[in-house]
A and B are shown apart, each in its own frame.
Chain A
Amino acid sequence: MEDEKSFSDICGGRVVLRRRYYSPYCREFGLSSARLSLRSLTAVTCAVWLAAYGLFTLCENSMILSAAIFITIIGLLGYLHFVKIDQETLLIIDSLGIQMTSSYASGKESTTFIEMDKVKDVIINEAIYMKVIYYLCILLKDPGKPHEISQVVPVFQGYSEVLQASLYLKPWGEREDRYPFFETFSNLPGQWHSIYNTTVLLLHGPCEHLCTYTDTHKGWRYSLGGRSILSIVQGPGLVPSISPKLNRRLTLLRKIEK
């Protein structure tokens, strides 16, 4: 069973979410974005070559032109191979694990597989950036210590810019059934009952402030969409007390000690 839904991102580009249902215990979610646009490629190439030509007229050294060509080619290859993510897939197999694949524009695929013993929960994180944004992430635990959280892994890393904008446009208080993206995750089998129960307070790097009423002791730092994010995980029950204040965009906060 397969279905597709399109969303739009900040720049107006189209992002397609594809769901495949292989069996009651195996589902796949894929996010694919628009390909490299010819317009932007032409613009960048022209800019680099114009600059090179300008330098050439100043210096009269033809090595500059060859160097510009090299730089353009190598830069394009590097961008396609290391930066531009075409598609990201999340494959969830019950009792085996979760697999996240990113496939780049040059065809390279990088896969991470997390075993089910290590997964503690899948939660929705919210971040206070210029506005409140949300994204999905997986909490990992150490099999030896099941009550502690060892790591936080965001899902769909290459798309965090995208997801932050369009899919989570509702204010905090009305979030229950208004997030079409999360609805796709809500009816996963078995263990994902706690998707809406636990939420996480997330703060962005430069404005590292903290709500005064949280007393968490531990935070995880990771990067999402190129930004470094510090995240603190709280249990359920704290959420309602946070939300009204978050909505009013707190600015007076205390610094976190990690």
Chain B
Amino acid sequence: MVLKAFFPTCCASADSGLLVGRWVPEQNSAVILAVVHFPFIPIQVKKLLAQVQKASQVQVAVLGTWCHRQQEPEENMGHFLEGLGAIFSHDPWLQLCRERGTRFWSCKATYHQMSTNLGTPTEDQVMLIFYDQRKLLLSWLHPPAVLPGCQDGETTASTGGLADIFDTVARSEVLFQNDQFDEGPVRLSHWQSDGMEASILVELAKRASGPVCLLLASLLSLLSAASASWLWKLWPLSFIRSKLSTCEQLWHRLKHLSLIFSTEKAQNPMQLMRKANMLVSVLLDVALGLLLLSWLHSNNRIGQLANALVPVADRVAEELQHLLQWLMGAPAGLKMNRALDQVLGRFFLYHIHLWISYIHLMSPFIEHILWHVGLSACLGLTVALSILSDIIALLTFHIYCFYVYGARLYCLKIYGLSSLWRLFRGKKWNVLRQRVDSCSYDLDQLFIGTLLFTILIFLLPTTALYYLVFTLLRLLVITVQGLIHLLVDLINSLPLYSLGLRLCRPYRLAAGVKFRVLEQEAGRPLRLLMQINPLPYSHVVHTYRLPSSGCHPKHSWGSLCRKLFFGELIYPWRQREDKQD
């Protein structure tokens, strides 16, 4: 195999010295991490390497020499460097040299141990691969190589070659703390040689985050304890809480906030990204909510909304009354059973009348209620949207009631019909055996059964029509609510921080690497440039999606149609109590 030397681009212009890095024998590759400059004392270099090895669990060693002839006038440096091979023995010993007058490098790798029978050291072909040390240090590879049984104290087994290299560079951060401009005994050159990177704001934020997190965590734990107390488990409150989506959303946000401000540090990059995503999501939510709040409270929009609300409710009720009058006549040319029609129609009309009176009763207070509810938008846009969804549910409560009445009636009719149909044919449902058995009926049973059957069947179109109309209305309301929930879900679960990172710092999220062959001359070693291949956006969203508390409809289309046909009630927004996070 060809010997692969991974060389950091930042060291390409460094002065001559020793190459320090890690040798991976399984892949025959040498990962060079830094260059030690002259003058140095070999004992101190070895001491430093031992320290780094202990601190980072990476087997750093001196791999060879680096000679930058373009900068030095004297030629005897070459002999000096060759002599160093005797002091720091490493097999193979690399000698990289950047020569004067040409852009191409010369590389030599000599093996001393393996050539005992030959007597002379054997050489090997070298392939140079340049990599950007800073980017490799900061990025993390997806999917992360799962090393079985790897803990902090153990040395890592070699996994796929690239994951290994990423790992090596990331874990050698200890080596990068000393620089060639420092006053220490050993002068190193690596990516920090261009200047140590730090930012005052980041450092201040890090110092301040400790006490702030403690304070907020304690406040949030108080809140969570209050909301989890036994008071909420009592019957009316728990029922209301399970039905309102606002409570669910608030609870969800509370959980997020307590996770963000928890005092334990993130164990791995995944958790860190999750925290960051949650924080950005909450901030965006609150920002949009405040925007909505400012829009609502300007120009007296609340007043306009409140004034428009009652006429709208009136209008809806009027339309419903027209609809019922239409149904009580001859809707779409169908002939209804006059008596049943009148009964059902009058029943529903009375309900609408009650509802209208209720709305009129509430109308003086609506503006105040809306004003206070609008204030809740400062908790976030998602909370405002959930409240909107709940208001729609409350305002269309009469439609829900009508749907339930119609569905129950229809359901009863269908079951009655199916059972009497069996009687008509002389069969019976056997509950014990869960199947249909033949049965001999008495004459009077048959007579009454057939009579009832015909009555029910002739009343079927009327009931079916009412059921159909109210089911369609209910489905319409459910669709509107569903769209609102979808929007809330989107805001909750979109990983904005990860997307922003992918946009601005694509090297942080790496899907792999890509190589580019650099200009080459015959007889010279091959030079490649290794760059980071960023993760595609779809993978970013898929990997870092936040778990949403959304109540997704659990029925498939087939079961939904079946339920509609048999008149069973559909509950699309069941709150999931056992949702795992």
Partners in one complex: yes
Q: Does B25 contact A (CB under 8 A)?
A: no
Q: Does B37 contact A (CB under 8 A)?
A: no
Q: How far is the CB of B536 from chain A (nearest CB, A)?
A: 8
Contact at B161–A117, with CB atoms within 8 Å? yes
Q: Decide if B512 touches A23 in the complex (CB within 8 Å).
A: no
Check: A153 CB closer than 8 A to any chain B CB: no
| Beta-carbon nearest neighbor of A112 in chain B | B512
Residues on the B chain within 8 Å of A196, using CB: none
Looking at the complex, which one of A22, A113, A118, A143 makes contact with B514 (CB distance below 8 Å)? A113
B514 and A111 form a contact (CB under 8 A)? yes
Among candidates B28, B513, B515, residue contacting A95 with C-beta atoms closer than 8 Å: B28
Q: A22-B520, A23-B520, A23-B526 are in contact. Are A93 and B515 (CB under 8 A)?
A: yes
How many angstroms between the C-alpha atoms of A25 and B4 in the bound complex?
Answer: 12
| Residue of chain B at shortest CB distance from A110 | B536
Q: Is A71 in the interface zone, CB < 8 Å from B?
A: no
For residue A208, CB closer than 8 A to chain B, the reply is no
Q: How near does chain A come to B127, taking the closest CB pair, in angstroms?
A: 7
* Cβ-based interface call for A161 (8 A): no
Task: Say if the beta carbon of B1 comes within 8 Å of chain A.
Answer: yes
Chain A residues within 8 Å of chain B by Cβ, number: 20
Cβ–Cβ contact B528 & A113, under 8 A: no
- Return the 7 tightest CB-CB contacts between A and B, nearest first: A111-B514, A95-B1, A23-B526, A113-B512, A26-B526, A25-B2, A22-B517
**Cross-chain contact B127 with A115 (CB below 8 angstroms):** no
User: B305 at interface (Cβ–Cβ under 8 A)?
Assistant: no
Q: In angstroms, how far is the closest chain B Cβ from the Cβ of A118?
A: 8
Binary interface profile of B, 505-519, with partner A (CB < 8 Å = 1, else 0)? Answer: 000000011110100
Residues facing A in B1-43 (CB within 8 A) are 1-2, 4, 27-28
A interface residues (Cβ-Cβ under 8 A, vs B):
22-23, 25-26, 28, 91, 93-96, 99, 101, 111-113, 115-118, 143
Cβ-based interface call for B162 (8 A): yes
- Number of B interface residues, CB 8 Å? 20
20 example contacts (A-B, Cβ-Cβ < 8 A) are as follows A23-B520, A25-B125, A25-B127, A26-B127, A26-B517, A26-B526, A91-B515, A91-B517, A93-B127, A94-B2, A96-B129, A96-B515, A111-B514, A111-B533, A113-B512, A113-B533, A115-B162, A117-B161, A118-B160, A143-B160
A117 touches B160 (CB 8 A): yes
Report yes or no: B517 in contact with A28, Cβ–Cβ below 8 A. yes
Residues on A with C-beta less than 8 A from B160 are 115, 117-118, 143
The CA-CA distance from A195 to B475 in the complex, in Å, is 60
Which residues of B come within 8 Å of A, CB atoms?
1-2, 4, 27-28, 125, 127, 129, 160-162, 512-515, 517, 520, 526, 528, 533
A-B contact count (CB 8 A): 49
Contacts of B512 in A (CB 8 A): 112-113
Which residues from A are CB-within-8-Å of B528?
93
Chain A residues with CB below 8 A from B2, complex form: 25, 94-95
Min distance, Cβ B241 to any Cβ of chain A, angstroms = 47
- Chain B residues with Cβ under 8 A from A115's Cβ? 160-162
Q: Given A113-B513, A113-B515, A117-B161, decide whether A95 and B533 contact each other with a Cβ distance below 8 A.
A: no
How far apart are A157's CB and chain B's nearest CB, in angstroms?
Answer: 16
Q: Please report the C-alpha to C-alpha distance between residue A91 and residue B27 in the assembled complex, in whole angstroms.
A: 19
Q: In whole angstroms, how far apart are the Cα atoms of A123 and B488 in the complex?
A: 50
What is the chain A residue whose CB lies nearest that of B27?
A95
Most buried by B among A101, A117, A118: A117
CB distance from A62 to the nearest CB of B (A): 31
Question: Could you tell me the distance in whole angstroms from the C-beta of A234 to the nearest C-beta in chain B?
Answer: 28
Name, among B4, B129, B514, B528, the residue most crowded by chain A CB atoms within 10 Å (CB to CB).
B514
Pairwise interchain contact B526-A99, C-beta atoms closer than 8 A? no
Residues of B within 8 A of A111 (CB): 514, 533
Complex formed: what's the CA distance from A143 to B129 in Å?
Answer: 24
Chain A residues closer than 8 Å to B533, beta-carbon distance: 111, 113
User: In angstroms, how far is the closest chain B Cβ from the Cβ of A250?
Assistant: 38
Contact A95 B514 (CB under 8 A): no
How many Å lie between the Cα of A117 and that of B160 in the bound state?
7
What B residues does A25 contact at CB under 8 A? Answer: 2, 125, 127, 526
Specify the chain B residue showing the minimal Cβ separation from A143: B160
Q: Which residues of B contact A26 (CB under 8 A)?
A: 127, 517, 526
Neighbouring B residues of A143 by C-beta, 8 Å? 160
A101 to B515, CA, bound (A): 10
Residues of B contacting A94 with CB < 8 Å? 1-2
| Residues of chain A lying within 8 A (CB to CB) of residue B161 | 96, 115-117
Query: Would you give the shortest CB distance from B88 to chain A, in whole angstroms?
Result: 26
Question: Which residues of chain A are within 8 angstroms of B125 by Cβ–Cβ distance?
Answer: 25
In the bound complex, residues from chain B placing their C-beta under 8 Å from that of A99 are: 514-515
Chain A CB within 10 Å — which of B28, B129, B517 has the most?
B517
In chain B, what residue has the closest Cβ to A114?
A: B512
For B4, the chain A residues whose CB sits under 8 A away are 95-96
User: Smallest distance from the beta carbon of A114 to chain B beta carbons, Å?
Assistant: 9
Q: Which residue of A lies closest to B528 (CB)?
A: A93
Q: Which residues of A have CB within 8 Å of B517? A: 22, 26, 28, 91
Query: What is the CB-to-nearest-CB distance from A27 to chain B, in angstroms, rounded to a whole number?
Result: 10
Task: Give Cα A25 to B28, complex, Å.
Answer: 15
CB distance from B102 to the nearest CB of A (A): 18
A22→B515 contact, CB < 8 A: no
Q: Which residue on B lies nearest to A95, using beta carbons?
A: B1
Among A26, A96, A101, A118, chain B packs the most CB atoms within 10 A around the CB of A96
Q: How far is the CA of A143 from the CA of B27 in the complex (A)?
A: 14
